[in-house]
Structure 1
Amino acid sequence: MADRDEASEPEALDESELAVEGALRPGSLDEFVGQHKVRGQLQLLLQAARIQQRPSDHILLSGPPGLGKTTLAMIVAHESERPLRLSSGPAIQHAGDLAALLSSLTPGEVLFIDEVHRMARSAEEMLYLAMEDFRIDIMVGKGAGATSIPLDLAPFTLVGATTRAGLLPNPLRDRFGFTAHLEYYEVAELEQVVERSAAMLGIRLPAAGRAEIARRSRGTPRIANRLLRRVRDYSVVHGGDLDVATVSAALDLYDVDEIGLDRLDRAVLEALVRRFRGGPVGLNTLAVTAGEEPETIESVVEPYLVRIGFMGRTPRGRIAMPEAYAHLGVPHPDGALRFDDL
């Protein structure tokens, strides 16, 4: 019996972690912290659709990971009082995959496609007609005897999310009635996120502790909630109040420094500053040196380092800015390249 309990424990932990993630998501636009302009625009869009008793226009949400795109899609469905269907671009690799998904939608249903820019090209082309006319053409047969059969779809609302809006083809992007770009959060907004999450998790966290977590969260609510849970774990194991010293000790243990840089961020900066003497250096070379995939460096690490002024992107490659040298405690070389030199 003991063996069975031990074997089932990881699964129980996974379910608990998923439950926590879901519980921390705001359920309405009023509960959603930050992104004030986008929230106001969405509120108007959804209210107009509700008054006119029609599905909302298709919505495209772009921005870095962890800023709330999936949460906003769930809120759109909730406030529209419509069911939500979840999918992702990598899962739609054939036109038939998309046809099966679209044909099963109920009237007014909200379809959320995460990483919509990663759909197969054939599926994208089918989606054009579906978004515009709520119809798709099914090809039956092959070669000269192939026949196109039109299939009408129930009216639906597509909510697409992407971290790389520039990769979306123009015909697809133009079919979204509303496009919003989510920005990184300010520290004060992240403090509100941490305060709300701490209350929901039953954690007594003073204002100074909330500010410390917010300051190290890279402008991203998902990271703020994750760090809050790690701080909670540290407190459970080591005991004591969640004061600034405890919060700092917990985050230091998880390699999150005072401005939110983690191990990978520092590995990239160390390679750029020490190995390549400030650059310029190509993305692939930098990724190999840091031991990570180029896509991860480009989509996860670079946006934050560029935003805080530690890295520059130039036609010749990535360069380290003076602030990066100062943070690493490395003297800035007199001959280091600057934007003006490139």
Structure 2
Amino acid sequence: MLLQRDRQRRRWQIRDPSIVVKILKLELDGISCRCLDSWLRIAVKPGIEVFTLMPRDELECLLSNALALEKLILDGCKEIIYLKIPCVLQKLSYLSVFGCERLQAIDSKAPNLSSLFLTGKPLELSLGDTMQMKNLAMFRQNVVCYARAKLSSTMPNLETLILRSDEEVVNTPMLPTKFIYLKHLTIRLVSGLTFSPSYDYFSLVSFLDASPSLETLYLDVCQPYMKHESVFGDFTHLRQIPEHSHFYLKSVKIIGFSSAKGLVELACYIIKNAVSLECLTLDTLYGSRCYGETDTTCEPASDGFLMEAPPRAVTAIRTYIEDKVPPTVKLTVLEPCTRCHARAEC
């Protein structure tokens, strides 16, 4: 619905009282912030459950008066440079910001913010009391190192953490700080032009040691061309670190598993130390799979990749991992799909 002039107010009258509007999308074009309150009084009626507002620019006057706001999503707001969320938003628990290219800082005083989703370049974060933060997703460069170095001390009560990095050049550091309550960890590393081939996947052990309550680990390594040191290199010796039992880790899935030495060492560490592990899935492809569904397809892969990477990954699993898996753990090794990647069998 497009509101532009005062004379359009009459159009908001609902003639049939039996009709209850639950979803309202309000797009404002040419409306000043001074008029916003009057427009909302006209448009927002009892019974509305989902309200999408698309303003031209400033949100300050809206946020200052939306006392019942529980979920705020900013998508593609290219004019916003500084986002300030006042403390009066007592009910705000979810904030999602993506596609805001010019955004430089977020200053939130909302006391009950517990879920945060951020994409884009690094920005200045001031979130007030971060002890309430339970769920966090961040997509940015070098976010894995940042999360381990900063978040375990500033957001110690996280339960779900999702990280995606298109550029990870620094190994994950080993630190004494802990994610005491973290249960679900997802890390996606995309091998782009700036992804360092010297990055050590084995350094991700730092997250495991810092997360004593971890139950699920999902690692997605998207690398069409494996440039890391192979486990089949000359004089290969698998590294080991002091044993540290993980009592709650039950499910581990690694997508894009290859013969990279660090990945093999990480899998061996998990098998040895995750005493409650129930299932370990090693997928030798990267990206999405069809899983046998006829209306979907696996992510395309070059013939060169299919003929080289998956066979070497399977050999690495059989050589270094398979015989270490205890009988109580279900090991699933996924090879190229026979329907989508039939040429991989040639």
TM-score, normalized by length of structure 1? 0.25
- Provide the TM-score with structure 2 as the length reference: 0.25
Q: Which has the higher contact order (CA 8 A, sep 6+)?
A: 1
